A and B are shown apart, each in its own frame.
Chain A
Amino acid sequence: MANSSAVQLNGIVKRFGGLTAVHRMDLDIEEGSFVTLLGPSGCGKTTTLRMIAGLLEPSEGEIVIKGRSVTHTPIHKRNLGIVFQNYALFPHKTIFDNVAFGLRYRDVPRGEIAGKVARALELVQLPDMGDRFPRQLSGGQQQRIALARAIVIEPDVLLLDEPLSALDANLREDMRVELKRIQVHLGITTIFVTHDQSEALAMSDRIVVMSKGHVEQVGAPEEVYRSPKSAFVARFLGNANLVEGRVGKSSGETVSVAVEGIGELLVPASRSRGIGEGAAASIVVRAEKLFLGAEDDTPHADALSLPGEVTAVDYQGQAARYFVEVAGRTLQALNPIEERPFRRGDRVNAVIRGRDCALVPLEDRP
């Protein structure tokens, strides 16, 4: 295990004066994996990344890269590739010189530089740009060059801080696929920072969900999405309804949870976070798992079917997001559209299946 870990954070803390931006963080990043730090703005993602990079020194704790403690190693001796949000290509150097920059400070024989640069430019699919200056390139192209510059030095770890957020929506999705392709091709350990949950879900092997300087959950995208550890994680990824209930009997496979005005749901025990009988907890019902049907639909055997009324519709083309009033609560439902979307005021049946739900502890109320 220790052998295959590329980056280890051992209890790192970062304080800025009185403010603690990162609280005692432990993390083990496997060699060759794509790990995303995900969280809202200000939760300490950049601070964590900058500590790994060597641009900030942790107030406490230790950082280990490839088995070597680098806590006090200056950035230029860490052999990392960094891609910045605003590319940070050197404006006074050509694309070739930008990409070759890192090679000149390494023991790369002069004759090999051109070949390495050419291969890196090919990898990012901009082979003929060497003579241009950064300002002559579009944003997306600059981002690719920034990536080429970071990977040409064959870094131990690639660090990216919100690299796609400066691009417009279409380009962002293309770059997402592109970036993942290159990462898989090179097998390079990558730490990616974003506040965009769809980026995180699409690209990561593991997601580290952060909130207010704490790690909320670490896991594979599916795991974090399907079995959130906390109300925060449930809310931050996708659209979730959180409904308060009381935990009842456990049958081994499932846990029964009683919800006032709705009834009893059987939530899988594997997603119940071990919350004990008698405790109050929140049930997470994903919007895409709340199925709306016509009022006269036949009830399902393993599901609760509740009468409700559509109060608002957010039409999205292939799907629609509905706000439904059910038993005095407003719930969100994200459903594909069969023939026509429901309209505001329609009476519907909202169907909840216990096996689609997860259980999380109640939120701390401040």
Chain B
Amino acid sequence: MTGWNFLRLYTVAVYLFMFLPVAVVVLLSFNSRQFGSFPMEGLSFRWFVELWNNDAIVRAFRVSLLLAALTAVISTVLGILAALALVRYRFPGKNTITTLLIAPILIPEVVLAVALLLFLRWLDMPRSFLVLLLGHVIFTLPFVLLVVQARLVAIRPEYEEAARSLGANPLQTFFAVTLPLLLPAVFAGMLFAFTMSFDDITGTMFWKPGGVETVPTQIFAMLRHSISPEINALGTVMIVVTVALPLIGMGVARRLAASRS
């Protein structure tokens, strides 16, 4: 009995250790004073306003949004195509290709980052936004692929066969039957890719061209100079984007799934 109680206490402590700092950041972002101390003396949105007025941050935010959106779209399209090939067709080397596509999950991100960088150096290619995008697609693709693949396996091929027997060619079949049935997974995969790209820092540090910052690298850069309360506000925005968005997305996906099975 005491053993269980200890375990329970320990678990609570671990969670506190993990989430308390996050809670503090969110709280302090609404603090009206420059230096945080508890109890807080007043509530205000001034740090969010300063955030809005800080050109560097707004620029970083734009870059992050564009990067994450492009990553999500490209990864999702590639993920759907790869899943279709892997689930619906038989071809030689299928296992090898599966392993290669999933590998970025298994390899530490730093290693992946350095490897891509060395490869680009060997190709004599300078770092650019395109390279950054390529990197993000590589490490988000496996997640989209796994989610879409899991759903596709559960969709019996008879639906597609029925559509084709009724006169739809393979492309028409995909858009009329396969894609609508896959939609919940496609949606979930896309959100996954978006949030992973949005808060990635390791790979981004290696791949981004000089002068371009994303929100995470911007925060990192700001931290090197000083600890400004703006960072708390930025942190709060990040949390909202990367937590709330997937939650909403999952809700939508669940709705879609319920109406399609």
Residues of A within 8 A of B (CB): 53, 55, 74-82, 84, 86, 88, 90-92, 101-102, 105-106, 135, 149-150, 153
Q: Is B202 part of the contact surface with A, judged by Cβ < 8 Å?
A: no
Q: How many residues of B contact A (CB 8 A)?
A: 22
Q: Is B180 part of the contact surface with A, judged by Cβ < 8 Å?
A: yes
Q: Is B168 part of the contact surface with A, judged by Cβ < 8 Å?
A: yes
Q: Is B27 part of the contact surface with A, judged by Cβ < 8 Å?
A: no
Q: Is B228 part of the contact surface with A, judged by Cβ < 8 Å?
A: no
Cα of A149 to Cα of B164 in the assembled complex, Å: 13
A102 touches B158 (CB 8 A): no
A84 touches B162 (CB 8 A): yes
B177 touches A90 (CB 8 A): yes
A92 touches B158 (CB 8 A): no
Q: Which single member of A88, A92, A106, A135 contacts B162 (CB below 8 Å)?
A: A88
Cα of A79 to Cα of B167 in the assembled complex, Å: 7
Interface residues as binary, B227-256 with A (CB distance below 8 Å gives 1, 0 otherwise): 000000000000000000000000000000
- Offer 15 A-B interface pairs, CB within 8 angstroms, sorted by A: A75-B164, A76-B169, A76-B170, A79-B167, A81-B165, A82-B161, A82-B165, A92-B180, A92-B259, A92-B260, A105-B168, A106-B167, A135-B261, A149-B166, A150-B165
Q: Is B117 part of the contact surface with A, judged by Cβ < 8 Å?
A: no
Instruction: Write the chain A residue with the least CB distance to B183.
Output: A92
Q: Is B185 part of the contact surface with A, judged by Cβ < 8 Å?
A: no
Cα of A362 to Cα of B206 in the assembled complex, Å: 79
Residues of B within 8 A of A (CB): 156, 158-159, 161-170, 172-173, 176-177, 180-181, 259-261
Instruction: Write the chain B residue with the least CB distance to A149.
Output: B166
A53 touches B165 (CB 8 A): yes
Cα of A49 to Cα of B74 in the assembled complex, Å: 40
A102 touches B259 (CB 8 A): no
With A86-B158, A91-B181, A92-B181 as contacts: A80 and B165 at CB distance below 8 Å: yes
Cα of A75 to Cα of B163 in the assembled complex, Å: 10
B158 touches A88 (CB 8 A): yes
With A86-B156, A88-B156, A105-B172 as contacts: A55 and B161 at CB distance below 8 Å: yes
B159 touches A102 (CB 8 A): no
> In the assembled complex, which residues on chain B have CB atoms less than 8 Å from the CB atom of A150?
165-166
B161 touches A102 (CB 8 A): no
> In the assembled complex, which residues on chain A have CB atoms less than 8 Å from the CB atom of B161?
53, 55, 75, 82, 84, 88
Interface centre among A92, A149, A150 (most CB of B within 10 A): A92
> In the assembled complex, which residues on chain A have CB atoms less than 8 Å from the CB atom of B164?
74-76
Q: Which single member of B167, B169, B173 contacts A102 (CB below 8 Å)?
A: B167
B166 touches A102 (CB 8 A): yes
